[in-house]
Amino acid sequence: LEAFDTPDAIMSWARALTYSQAPQSEAESKTSNATITPTMEPLASPQPWDLLSQEIANLPEHQCLHSQSHFSVYFARYDQIPKILLEIARLREDVFRELDEGSGHPSDTDRFDKIYTHLFVFDHQANQVLGAYRMGQTDSFESVDQLYLSQMFNFGPDFLNQKKPCLEMGRS
């Protein structure tokens, strides 16, 4: 790592190294497009706070993991929080754009949002989502294709739950 002058150079090297693990055609497309900036569509509009608050009010009490002051941490599945998930995807795209990683779409979402569990912090005073993680519970997956990382790495069919169930966390 001493050979790199800047954190950006290290990040570019690490990204290229990660993409090189993908099947050849996929790795080529990611590295060849890495320097192309996508056209940025406007971000999606924020979700109305009253709809977000209603989804939270409908969650079972045990899905609130912790509350302090006006902040609460929850976990939920897509079907319980579709509006909150739209807001999380909008915020995700906004943050990724700040790091030149944005998709260019109004929000950052994919098929994994519907099968993963979402951990998120909600500010009840400001009526907004502050942050979120997406968690893949491997004991509920039927195949390695349900892991987000399976898009980048070639996992064998017996990769899941070798010793105990695991969580794949990402899309913060």
Provide the percentage of residues in the chain whose pLDDT is more than 90: 49
Element (H, E) at 68: strand 64-68
Amino acid at 101: E
Asked whether the beta carbons of 93 and 132 are under 8 A apart, the reply is no
Interior CA angle at 17 toward 90 and 109, to 5°? Answer: 15
Q: Is the pLDDT of residue 165 over 90?
A: no
The pLDDT of 108-114, averaged and rounded, is 91
- Give the model's pLDDT for residue 101: 85
The pLDDT of 40-59, averaged and rounded, is 96
Smallest CA-to-CA distance from 160 within 151, 170, 143 is with 143
pLDDT confidence tier of residue 164, bands split at 50, 70 and 90: confident
**Close Cβ partners of 126 (under 8 Å, ≥ 6 residues apart):** 70
pLDDT confidence tier of residue 38, bands split at 50, 70 and 90: low
What is the spatial distance between Cα 29 and Cα 25, in angstroms, rounded to a whole number? Answer: 6
- Give the model's pLDDT for residue 16: 78
Q: Rounded to whole angstroms, what are the CA distances from 137 to 7, 140, 144, 147, 153?
A: 32, 6, 11, 9, 18
Q: What is the DSSP letter of 99?
A: T
- Give the model's pLDDT for residue 134: 92
pLDDT confidence tier of residue 35, bands split at 50, 70 and 90: low
**Segment of 21-30, 115-124, 144-153 carrying the highest mean pLDDT:** 115-124
The pLDDT of 129-140, averaged and rounded, is 89
Asked whether the beta carbons of 97 and 56 are under 8 A apart, the reply is no
What is the spatial distance between Cα 82 and Cα 118, in angstroms, rounded to a whole number? Answer: 11
Q: Rounded to whole angstroms, what are the CA distances from 110 to 12, 32, 55, 78?
A: 24, 22, 21, 12
Higher pLDDT, 23 or 84: 84
- Give the model's pLDDT for residue 130: 96
Higher pLDDT, 9 or 23: 9
Cβ atoms within 10 Å, residue 76:
20
pLDDT in tens, 62-103: 999 999 999 999 999 999 999 999 999 999 999 999 988 888
Q: Rounded to whole angstroms, what are the CA distances from 46 to 18, 50, 84, 122?
A: 33, 12, 10, 14
